[in-house]
Amino acid sequence: IVAILGPNGAGKSTAMKAMLGLLSLKSGSVSIDGNDISSLSPQDRVKRGISFVPQTRNVFTGLTVRENLEMGAFLRNEDLNKVIDEIYELFPILSEKKSQFVGELSGGQRQQVALGRALMTKPSVLMLDEPTAGVSPKVMDDLFSRIIQVGKTGVGILMVEQNAKQALAIADRGYVMVNGENRMEGSGKDLLNNPNVRKSFLGG
């Protein structure tokens, strides 16, 4: 799990969109599994193993939970039932709500739908843009627990997160971006204990 931190407007989400191919790179390259994918379209990057959950508009509220999951599998040709069952195992509430319209769910449940839909492509890298934005502390803790579970399945997770302390607590590695530039990096634990990081993002 990799966490990207930084002040508001620091270009954290912009960097993530550039990695997905939604924005052009000014310099550098994007590689996955050792292969340079910088010239590929967003669709082809998804085929190579990248999946993205945006902060907003990340679910289809007029569709059921199961229909949302099926929409996430548009690149898959095999029987989806096995994959959907794996998603239900990771997120049991989705199994309970599978026939319910997503627009009727709570914010935390919608985020689980968004995560589940992104995992339907069987990605090797999952990018999350502010996954806990706007949810209660209790729901936030549950979502972080779910993210840890996803990481244990072997999926690499890259997340931009406003809740710096909680993000670094579960992150294997962290990066601090200021004005679109990487200013600091290290293990989640090291950054959590770094005085400069604590002063700037953790309240001292």
Question: How many Å apart are CA 142 and CA 132, to the nearest integer?
Answer: 10
Percent of the chain with pLDDT over 70: 94
Distances (CA, A) of 88 to 50, 84, 119, 143: 21, 6, 11, 15
pLDDT in tens, 2-56: 999 877 544 567 878 888 998 888 888 999 888 999 999 998 999 889 999 988 8
Half-sphere exposure of 200 (CA within 13 A, CB side): 16
Residue 74's pLDDT is 76
pLDDT in tens, 12-27: 678 788 889 988 888 8
Instruction: List the Cα angle 9/11/16 in 5-degree steps.
Output: 135
